[in-house]
């Protein structure tokens, strides 16, 4: 994994540790579902945190962002598959069904970043 993808996953891990949500990619301060790129977003799910971390990389062109998102999410999916026997959960499914806390999401993202 390249350094930038690792940095994205580590950044996302720190976000979900303190501001995790479920059943939405992002939520506003009143708990309403919103888009991850909205300034009012203050909580993110595992996948939403990765997307938000990528959006913070304003110097990257769109094709590089897509490739980076693919690399980061592939690493997260691989980690989930290794933990749960493969093919049982998507990233979103894991976040909503298995992940109980932001701390769980943090450790998953940090493990994915170490690959």
Averaged pLDDT score across all residues of the chain: 90
Q: What is the domain count for the chain?
A: 1
Domain that holds residue 108: 3-113
Average pLDDT over residues 51-56: 86
Average pLDDT over residues 60-70: 76
pLDDT at 50 over 80: yes
pLDDT at 1 over 80: no
Give the pLDDT of residue 60. Answer: 58
Q: Residues 16, 55, 96, 89: is their CA dihedral positive or negative?
A: negative
Mention every residue, 6+ apart, whose C-beta is less than 8 A from residue 60: 54, 68
Whether the predicted model's global pTM rises above the 0.75 cut: no
Average pLDDT over residues 74-97: 93
- Number of C-beta neighbours around residue 94 at 10 A: 24
Question: Can you give 86-106 as a three-state secondary structure string?
Answer: CCCCCHHHHHHHCCCCHHHHH
């Amino acid at each position: 994994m390249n350094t930038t993808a690792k940095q994205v996953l580590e950044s996302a891990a720190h976000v979900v540790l303190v501001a995790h949500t479920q059943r939405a990619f992002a939520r506003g301060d009143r708990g309403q579902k919103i888009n991850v790129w909205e300034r009012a977003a203050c909580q993110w799910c595992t996948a939403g945190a990765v997307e938000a971390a990528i959006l913070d990389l304003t110097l990257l062109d769109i094709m590089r962002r897509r490739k980076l998102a693919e690399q980061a999410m592939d690493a997260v999916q691989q980690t989930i598959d290794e933990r749960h026997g493969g093919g049982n959960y998507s990233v979103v499914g894991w976040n909503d069904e298995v992940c109980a806390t932001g701390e769980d999401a943090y450790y998953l993202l940090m493990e994915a970043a170490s690959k």
